[in-house]
Amino acid sequence: MLNPTGTPATAPSAPLVEDALKGIAALVVDANIGADAVMGDAARRALATRFFVACVAGQTALFAPALYGFEVDTVLRKQVTAKGMTLPNLALARAALDALPVAFIYGQIETEAARTRARQIADMLALSGTYDALYAAFAEARQIPFWTVDRKFARAAQNLRRQTDGTMAPFLPFVHFLGDYS
C-alpha cells in the first residue's frame, strides 16, 4: 500500500512491551508466556523473553496460580511426545522454566474464591474452559494486570459491556494481550 506521496506506507508500530510494563508493581502471568520464553517460535520467544526481562528490570512481581507449573510441564511433555524433543533438551527447557521469577498462589481460601469467580467469568465470556478465567480471577482479586498470549480470551475480556451505571467499558480491563506489543 502506498501513502499519498507514492512511497510505501508503513503500519503503525505496536507499543513496546517494556513501555507497557513500566511502573507495574505486580501482575499475573499466563503459563503460555513462560512456555513461549523457552520454546516458542523465534518471534514469540523473543517477545516473551523481553517481557520477563522487562519485569525483572522493573522489579515487577510475577504471580500465577499453582496450575501454572502443571500447564507449562504439559506443554513440554507434548514437545516430547508429539514433536520429538529429546530428554536432554526437555531437562534444559525445564530448568529454564523453573528459573523464571514466577511466584505461585497456593492459598486455599484465595483459590476457592478465584475458582468461583473463574466460573462466572467463563460463563460470561462463553469459554470452553476455565484456565484463563482462573488467572483473570486471581488478577482481579489482587487488583493487578493479567498478561496472556491467548488472543481469543484477551479479545473477549476486552469487549465492551454495559456497566451498572449505564456506561460501556471492557468486561475485564486489566487483561493484556502480549501480541499487541512489540
Contact between 159 and 43 (Cβ < 8 Å) = no
State mean pLDDT over 157-162.
84
Using the Cα atoms of residue 163, residue 177, residue 133 and residue 104 in order, give the sign of their dihedral: negative
State mean pLDDT over 177-182.
92
Single-letter code of the amino acid located at 125: L
Residue 19: HSE in the Cβ half-sphere, 13 Å Cα cutoff? 6
* Residue 123 CA: distances (Å) to CA of 53, 64, 120, 149, 179: 35, 21, 5, 21, 25
Which CATH number does the domain 17-180 belong to among 3.90.1170.50, 3.10.180.10, 3.30.70.2740, 3.40.50.1010? 3.40.50.1010
Question: Whole-prediction pTM value?
Answer: 0.85
pLDDT-based confidence at residue 32 (cuts at 50, 70, 90)? very high
- Is the pLDDT at 6 greater than 60? The verdict is no
Percent of the chain whose predicted confidence (pLDDT) is above 70:
93
Spatial separation of the C-alpha atoms in residues 80 and 117, rounded to whole Å:
34
pLDDT-based confidence at residue 95 (cuts at 50, 70, 90)? very high
Nearest 5°: the CA angle 57, 153, 116 is 95
Nearest to 114 by CA among 33, 35, 28, 32: 28
Cα R_g (the chain), whole angstroms: 18
Provide, for the chain, the percentages of residues in helix, strand and coil under a 3-state DSSP scheme, each rounded to the nearest 5: 55, 15, 30
